[in-house]
């Protein structure tokens, strides 16, 4: 059954400014803090704002100015976009436009799906945001469609299905926000847990025409296929479910590929290229320029999908443009942005499956924990399947030179049984793998850390009873904003980690804070609403009675 769209055009009296965005406006997003046009607050995904009106001295006066209910019980992970006084936000089945100063709804579109769609979504029925371009709001839908809506009215301009749309048979889904580069909409796909081959795709932003597809798992006979035993690459995984970044000088898009499938490594001997890799592609063609694999033949579901951050940092006394990934497996990688050469790799959380990274080969120096797991023995491994980070995004401050990362402090027991027999669309995990969460301190399951990108060492750490699945944002006034699983929205001193302000929202926060400016006043916006895989399956007693419900909140300094 074909999905249907219903646009509820409300509050027509709300004034609406011009919303056309050019490719140049997107490139300059980091330099124009009045609007937030690109996922990650700019193509480099630094999530850094030059705004300083809200600072350490006055942040305690921050108050909510409006809240808007998105009427969703599944979880709020979306990145809000702000353009000309309008906030655009998404859930798994809705796209909304809201007046940025009042919270008044301008329009709301509901997206319907065939009944089978949500049954093959692995790890939380969520959406992480939209993209905005030339007067359109463009987003991915869970049944592998892209839709472009008129930013002023919500009216559909075009919709297109992926050449391989989601079905119960193939297990594909789209949960990430698109990235638009020079008129090309680039989007990834989820579903490695359902035995497919992951890919990255490009579409024409004006028409929705499909331009290219790059598989993360090679077909038989293609380069990299020799790293898969037999026909195991046919169900090889390698999802691309988080959003990438773009460097306009090098004309390279950076993206991450997820875990191989099935979880059981005994069914897929070899390095399993190009899963668990960071890679660079040409946005116009999808040509892969370089790749770096983080964990060959990964048995632990250590996705390498975490958004690669682009930054210029000091390397050996010389400024160097790099790509930084806080990898799920617990190592912080610094790669040369031009060629992917490994510059640094250090643990930034508790890791026992590898003792370090070989700087000559880039391969992890695995321990008995890893080799015993491959042999089918029961092991206790750190981190857990959730990783030291999961999907939540870090921020980077060029002022302090630090990364601000919400980390998990959870391990697991793991044992792989006999190799499963798989076909596309069949579950690729639990049937032959046993995994149970373990902790070494019941009062600490996560930290917010200020981390040196070159060493992985923390300048400061703040412990939390539950890990924070919210992203972080940092400002030039040296404030770090983040959300807490139990619902607090917080501002901390970027230099010390001291808590400076906190506000209790109605549900847990797993969203992405942004800051912006309108009429000379600075605002901060974040989505609240617990959900996602950790809340559902993490066994965390601190979250047992937490209410659900997604809402959008905007804060500003109190005016006397």
- What CA–CA distances, in Å, run from 23 to 28, 76, 517? 9, 28, 21
- What CA–CA distances, in Å, run from 558 to 20, 68, 74, 86, 443? 32, 19, 32, 21, 35
Q: Which of 161, 186, 159, 181 is nearest to 242 (CA)?
A: 186
- What CA–CA distances, in Å, run from 556 to 132, 498, 501, 504, 518? 24, 20, 13, 15, 11
- pLDDT given at position 423: 61
Q: Which of 481, 533, 489, 491 is nearest to 508 (CA)?
A: 489
- pLDDT given at position 330: 99
120: tokens are: 């093959």
> Helix (H, G, I), strand (E, B), or coil: what is residue 243?
coil
Q: Which of 35, 301, 452, 540 does the annotation list as catalytic?
A: 301
- pLDDT given at position 259: 94
Domains in the chain, number: 1
- What CA–CA distances, in Å, run from 283 to 24, 164, 192, 242? 15, 20, 23, 16
Cα–Cα distance measured from residue 428 to residue 421, given in angstroms and rounded to the nearest whole number: 9
pTM: 0.95
Cα–Cα distance measured from residue 443 to residue 445, given in angstroms and rounded to the nearest whole number: 7
- pLDDT given at position 425: 56
Cα–Cα distance measured from residue 560 to residue 553, given in angstroms and rounded to the nearest whole number: 21
- Is 141 among the domain residues? yes
- pLDDT given at position 81: 99
Pair 445, 540: CB distance under 8 Å = yes
- pLDDT given at position 169: 63
Cα–Cα distance measured from residue 390 to residue 527, given in angstroms and rounded to the nearest whole number: 18
Pairing of strands 472-475, 48-49: parallel
Residues 6+ apart with CB under 8 A from 292: 277, 278, 279, 333, 335, 340, 342, 362
Q: Which of 340, 329, 336 is nearest to 364 (CA)?
A: 329
For residue 32, which phi and psi values (nearest 5 degrees)? -125, 80
- pLDDT given at position 185: 99
- Is 487 among the domain residues? yes
Pairing of strands 199-204, 210-215: antiparallel
- Is 517 among the domain residues? yes
Cβ atoms within 10 Å of 3's Cβ, excluding its own: 17
- Which position has the token pair 């472009």? 148
Structural domain of 115:
1-161+481-560
Q: Which of 122, 125, 97, 211 is nearest to 162 (CA)?
A: 211
- pLDDT given at position 171: 73
- Is 494 among the domain residues? yes
Cα–Cα distance measured from residue 456 to residue 479, given in angstroms and rounded to the nearest whole number: 21
- pLDDT given at position 207: 98
- What CA–CA distances, in Å, run from 75 to 141, 322, 502, 512, 521? 15, 33, 21, 12, 30
- Is 347 among the domain residues? no
- Is 133 among the domain residues? yes
pLDDT in tens, the chain (560 residues): 333 344 444 444 444 545 667 889 999 999 999 999 999 999 999 999 999 999 999 999 999 999 999 999 999 999 999 999 999 999 999 999 999 999 999 999 999 988 777 766 777 789 999 999 999 999 999 988 999 999 999 999 999 998 766 665 667 889 999 999 999 999 999 987 777 889 999 999 999 999 999 999 999 999 999 999 988 877 789 999 999 999 999 999 999 999 998 888 988 899 999 999 999 999 999 999 999 999 999 999 999 999 999 999 999 999 999 999 999 999 999 999 999 999 999 999 999 999 999 999 999 999 999 999 999 999 999 999 999 999 999 999 999 999 999 999 999 999 998 877 766 556 655 556 888 889 999 899 999 999 999 999 999 999 999 999 999 999 999 999 999 999 999 999 999 999 999 999 999 999 999 999 999 999 999 999 998 777 766 678 888 888 999 999 999 999 87
- pLDDT given at position 144: 87
Q: Which of 389, 388, 387, 368 is nearest to 379 (CA)?
A: 368
- Is 50 among the domain residues? yes
Pair 47, 472: CB distance under 8 Å = yes
Q: Confirm whether 418 is a catalytic residue.
A: no
> Helix (H, G, I), strand (E, B), or coil: what is residue 393?
coil
- Is 153 among the domain residues? yes
DSSP 432: G
- pLDDT given at position 12: 40
């Amino acid at each position: 059954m074909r999905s249907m769209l219903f646009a509820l055009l409300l509050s027509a009296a709300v004034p609406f400014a011009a919303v056309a965005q050019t490719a140049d406006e997107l490139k300059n997003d980091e330099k124009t803090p009045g609007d937030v046009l690109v996922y990650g607050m700019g193509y480099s995904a630094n999530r850094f704002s030059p705004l300083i009106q809200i600072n350490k001295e006055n942040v305690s006066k921050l108050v909510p100015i409006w809240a808007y209910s998105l009427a969703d019980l599944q979880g709020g992970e979306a990145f809000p976009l702000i353009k000309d006084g309008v906030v655009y936000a998404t859930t798994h089945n809705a796209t909304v436009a809201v007046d940025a100063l009042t919270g008044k709804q301008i329009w709301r579109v509901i997206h319907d799906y065939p009944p089978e769609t949500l049954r093959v979504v692995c790890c939380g029925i969520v959406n992480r945001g939209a993209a905005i371009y030339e007067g359109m709001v463009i987003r991915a839908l869970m049944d592998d469609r892209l839709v472009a809506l008129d930013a002023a009215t919500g009216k559909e301009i075009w919709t297109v299905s992926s050449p391989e749309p989601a079905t119960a048979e193939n297990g594909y889904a789209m949960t990430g926000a698109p990235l638009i580069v020079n008129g090309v909409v680039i989007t990834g796909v989820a579903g490695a847990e359902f035995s497919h081959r992951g890919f990255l795709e490009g579409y024409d932003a004006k028409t929705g025409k499909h331009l290219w597809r790059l598989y993360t798992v090679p077909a038989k006979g293609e380069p990299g296929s020799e790293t898969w035993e037999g026909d195991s690459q046919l169900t090889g995984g390698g999802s691309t479910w988080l959003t990438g970044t773009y460097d306009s000088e090098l004309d390279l898009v950076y993206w991450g590929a997820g875990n191989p499938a099935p979880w059981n490594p005994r069914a897929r001997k070899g390095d399993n290229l190009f899963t668990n890799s960071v890679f660079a592609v040409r946005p116009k063609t999808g040509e892969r320029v370089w790749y770096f694999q983080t964990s060959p033949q990964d048995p632990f579901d250590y996705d390498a999908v975490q958004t690669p951050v682009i930054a210029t940092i000091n390397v050996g006394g010389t400024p160097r443009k790099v790509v930084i990934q806080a990898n799920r497996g617990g190592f912080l990688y610094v790669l040369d942005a031009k060629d992917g050469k490994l510059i640094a790799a250090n643990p930034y959380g508790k890791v026992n499956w590898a003792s370090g990274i070989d700087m000559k080969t880039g391969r992890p120096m695995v321990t008995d924990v890893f080799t015993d797991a491959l042999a089918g023995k029961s092991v206790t491994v750190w981190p857990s399947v959730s990783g030291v980070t999961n999907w939540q995004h870090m921020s980077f401050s060029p002022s302090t030179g630090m990364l601000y990362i919400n980390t998990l402090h959870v391990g697991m027991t793991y044992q792989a049984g006999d190799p499963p027999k798989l076909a596309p669309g069949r579950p690729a995990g639990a049937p032959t793998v046993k995994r149970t969460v373990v902790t070494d301190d019941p009062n600490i399951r996560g930290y917010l850390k200020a981390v040196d990108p070159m060493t992985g060492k923390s300048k400061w750490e703040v412990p939390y009873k539950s890990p924070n699945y919210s992203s972080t944002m940092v400002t030039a006034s040296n404030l770090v904003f983040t959300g807490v699983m139990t619902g607090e929205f917080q501002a901390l001193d970027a230099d010390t980690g001291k808590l400076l302000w906190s506000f209790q929202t109605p549900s847990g926060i797993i969203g992405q804070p942004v800051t912006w400016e309108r009429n000379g006043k600075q605002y901060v916006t974040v989505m609240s609403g617990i959900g996602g895989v950790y809340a559902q399956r993490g066994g965390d007693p601190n979250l047992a009675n937490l209410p659900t419900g997604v809402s959008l909140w905007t804060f500003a300094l109190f005016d006397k």
